A and B are shown apart, each in its own frame.
Chain A
Amino acid sequence: MADLTVKFKIRRQNPEIPGKDKPYWQEFTLTGVEPTDRVLEMLHRIKWEQDGTLSLRRSCAHGVCGSDAMRINGVNALACKVLIQDVGNEIMVEPILGLPVIKDLIVDMEPFFDHYRSVMPYYVNNDPVPEDGRERLQTQADKDKFDDTTKCILCACCTTSCPSYWANGKYVGPAAIVQAHRFIFDTRDQAAKERLNILAEENGVWRCRTIYNCTPACPREIQVTKAIGEVKLAIQRGKTDGIVKVVHAHQH
């Protein structure tokens, strides 16, 4: 059992305490750390053992709920999916960029969810239901076309790593496009045209400059830039078929 000493430098801010209402850095030292400990567990230890005022969001603790996106050593990640051995003994933790900070690592997620809601992120199919009372049919190959983008957990790691989004918060951002992609390429859905129209507008896909920060930032390993590219193509071609080539993303 390795027994490491790890230094944390955390970007803090508390609107209720004069003098602490502007961002500042605070250092904490933890001993008895295992290389396989998660950063989230260490932030918990700081909060519980040293300073209960440290504030962050978290829930599932294993990378599926999307609560704890933050910048760890300058890179967006979920704190519960980063191990100490991946980031070393000196760890810098900051809130994600581009959304207003409320307190410490907690940012205002409302602008992010507003963009999400703006792309019609829901299934539309107005056909009468099948007469046998059963499911609509779909081939596995058709389902695979949008499988990757169904993995999104709305953590905001991609959107808040995007320089175009930092520059202009009106841009819907990668996450909203990923969510739209999930429906645009679903063969059962009937509102692709409306979504493509929304995304063809000023604050839609064309604000993406293919900078590619989003793809490595995604904790779900979604091919975000590829998905955005496919939506761009669909807008240019005015149709959705023949665009998505299914590659098996899970080759390790």
Chain B
Amino acid sequence: MHMHQHEVIIVGAGGAGLMAALYASEGGADVAVVSKLYPTRSHTGAAQGGIGAALGNIDEDQPIYHAYDTIKGGDYLTDQNAAKVLAEEAIDSVIELERYGLPFDRTPEMRISQRRFGGHTRNFGEELVHRACHAADRTGHMILQTLYQQCIKKKVNFFDEFQVVDLIVNDGKTAGVVAVDLATGEFHIFHGKAVLFATGGWGRCWSVTSNAHSLTGDGAAIALRRGVPMEDMEFFQFHPTGIYRMGILITEGVRGEGGVLLNDKGERFMEKYAPSVKDLASRDVVSRAIYDEVANGRGINGKTYVHLDIRPATVNHYFEQEGSDKRIDDNYVESKLPDILDFCRTYLGVDPVKEPMPVQPTAHYAMGGIPTNVNAEVVIDENNTVMPGLYAAGETACVSAHGANRLGTNSLVDLVVFGRRGGMKMAEYVKGVDWTPLPDDAGKEVEAEFKRIRNGKGSSKPYELRDAMQKTMNDNVGVYRTDDTMKKAVDELKQLRESYYNDITIDDQGYKFNTDLMEAWELGCMLQLAEVTAQSALLRTESRGAHSRDDFPDRDDDNWMVHTLAYQTGAEKESDYRVTADKPVDLSLWEDEKAQGLPDDKQKFKPKPRVY
């Protein structure tokens, strides 16, 4: 095995990993970034609409309003201390991105331009606010490029196309990671004092998703196997507007610019479901509305999709109806949403300036994941006990700033705010600790697992198992779930796991770029996360945020103001997963209000029913 030693090992080179790398380097640490993709291929580059920050460049705004929206959007499962940090540090982080050269669109006053986005309001829900800072509809692309450019400038070490496959732990302390060099198939050990997982989400557990093929949850699954519980896995966001059947995302920015959702009768149905903010209600609300319209036969031509309409005539009609004097034209749409138009023209042959777009909910974002505190330190139980040397940030982490449902633009904020905090914390941590020695058998277990997959003589092809997993997740653990559907999913997933461990076979026996082998290994990660998702969802007998149960339609604050934690029991091959529900939600902003003696009806941060 090849050996490397760096104080800080960052796994993943999306927005979170790169931000952490910049800050850990700046803090004086010796850093290596290990990524299975070239950094610029990371899915942060797919983010479209914007990054939220209460800059107030267009209308009055304050971080406390941003925190409020984040908590309400999260259906009050959001840890309030995390939401506060996110909202306050968003401002500095966005300014910092501008100083790194990010080409934001500009206001007439030459400041960073902002647009409206679902669930973002002024003065605790009073009216929609322009908070999403944007660079056309490729904000994520510009963030990813800009951060990578700064890493080149600062000469950060990169190990591109190295896939991390295990975490090395010695006596409860982090000691490094094991990675496969994809170009050669060889195993490498990275000995480190601190490891940060920034491996992104796992939307590929579902069949209709906005996520890249590479989003297979590797980091989360690895952590789970090494004793870290997964927090709030039942909360996976379905974005309301994926391109019909393909799942490619159409940003909420389309609705932010005035686009509306219409059913088969041409009705703007969100007026019914969210009378005040309508099409810009939070995502879980809009996805359920689409689902309900379709279920009631009002999908377009009776199919499972509705229309998203950004044609200027339609948009202007509703502007007029609402008494706004804003008007848009074709050129405006072209300049604000060029990529969206390109996707629709390429994949659908539909020109959104002339025709509405067919959309349906698409599996989009993991609210749950590796539990961390606000310094990106991984915690391993309900008492927030820190695991020494282990960190996580970005979509794979659960801070939890997003609670039961993330607001649009808040993931990009999460990446830069908590990536930065993680980077700083690691730089400080590695100065004060010795190297944890590598155990003698470091890497042996995962090497054996790879040998097993490679030599499998069974009859199941990984893609067949993957298709079956994605289908059962879409059908049974989707926008709506019930006890029956989830139990069905768990049963099917257990069977798939059985086949995965006892009956698998692959074609490619080589070592160089053996993508057949790597895909099979990734499937193992997804099968685990899918089952943990279904098990966690079964336990939570209420509906909250993105977790909507037909059999428990109401939110139940008396029993469920807690985060779930799912632990692997025994080897992943036969684990049953133990899910607990006793990690309390941080309610510090509300506690403050009570301590100040605010009367009940003035307490903004007290959990209450959500109305949009």
Q: What residues of chain A have their CB less than 8 Å away from a CB belonging to chain B?
A: 14-17, 36, 38, 47-49, 51-53, 55-56, 58-67, 81, 83, 102-103, 106, 109, 113, 117, 121-125, 129, 133-140, 143, 146-147, 150-151, 153-154, 182-183, 186, 188-189, 221, 248, 250-252
Contacts and interface: CB of A to CB of B under 8 A. Distances in A.
Contacts of B21: none
Given A134-B55, A138-B106, A183-B101, 20 more contacts: A16-B512, A48-B463, A53-B508, A55-B514, A59-B212, A59-B213, A61-B213, A62-B46, A62-B347, A63-B342, A63-B343, A65-B41, A65-B46, A102-B183, A122-B149, A123-B150, A124-B153, A137-B110, A143-B105, A150-B145
Contact of B95 (A66, A135, A186): A135
A58 B212 CA distance: 9
A186 B101 contact: yes
Nearest to B47: A64
Given A122-B150, A150-B145, A65 B43 contact: yes
B138 interface: yes
B135 interface: yes
Interface in B509-530: 510-516
A129 B95 CA distance: 10
29 contacts: A16-B511, A47-B516, A56-B515, A58-B213, A59-B43, A60-B46, A62-B248, A64-B339, A65-B40, A65-B41, A83-B347, A102-B512, A113-B38, A122-B152, A123-B149, A125-B101, A134-B111, A136-B99, A139-B106, A140-B107, A143-B103, A143-B105, A150-B103, A151-B141, A153-B45, A154-B40, A183-B101, A221-B342, A252-B345
Contacts of A121: 149, 152
A67 B515 contact: no
Interface stretch (B272-280, B330-338, B577-585, B591-599): B330-338
A14 B512 CA distance: 9
Contacts of B173: none
A23 B101 CA distance: 43
Contacts of B512: 14-16, 102-103
Interface in B120-159: 135-136, 138, 141-142, 145-146, 149-150, 152-153
Contacts of A134: 55, 95, 111
A92 B112 CA distance: 46
Number of chain B interface residues as a range:
35 or more
Contacts of B112: 135
Closest 4 CB pairs between A and B? A123-B101, A52-B507, A137-B110, A48-B463
A56 B40 CA distance: 17
Contacts of B341: 250, 252
Contacts of B111: 134-135, 137
From A17, A62, A137, A154, residue with most partner B Cβ within 10 Å = A62
B506 interface: yes
B213 to A, nearest CB: 6
B214 interface: yes
Given A60-B45, A133-B95, A123 B40 contact: no
A52 B38 contact: no
A228 to B, nearest CB: 20
A198 to B, nearest CB: 14
B601 to A, nearest CB: 36
Contacts of A15: 512
Interface string B199-221: 00000000000001110000000
Contacts of A103: 510, 512-513
A248 B334 contact: yes
Nearest to B461: A48
B510 A60 contact: no
B99 A60 contact: no
Contact of A55 (B45, B213, B246, B513): B513
Contacts of A136: 98-99
Contacts of A133: 95
A251 to B, nearest CB: 8
B37 interface: yes
Given A16-B511, A83-B347, A138-B110, A248 B41 contact: no
Nearest to B506: A52
From A14, A135, A248, A252, residue with most partner B Cβ within 10 Å = A135
A123 B513 contact: no
B346 interface: yes
A66 B510 contact: no
A105 to B, nearest CB: 10
A109 B38 contact: yes
A64 B45 contact: yes
Interface string B100-119: 11011111111111000000
Nearest to A123: B101
A139 B43 CA distance: 29
A27 B423 CA distance: 49
Contacts of A150: 103, 135, 138, 142, 145
B351 interface: yes
A250 B37 contact: no
Nearest to B102: A123
A65 to B, nearest CB: 4
Interface string B392-407: 0000000000000000
Contacts of B99: 125, 129, 135-136
A214 to B, nearest CB: 19
A56 B248 CA distance: 21
Contacts of A186: 101, 103
Nearest to B351: A252
Contacts of B109: 137
Contacts of B104: 135, 143
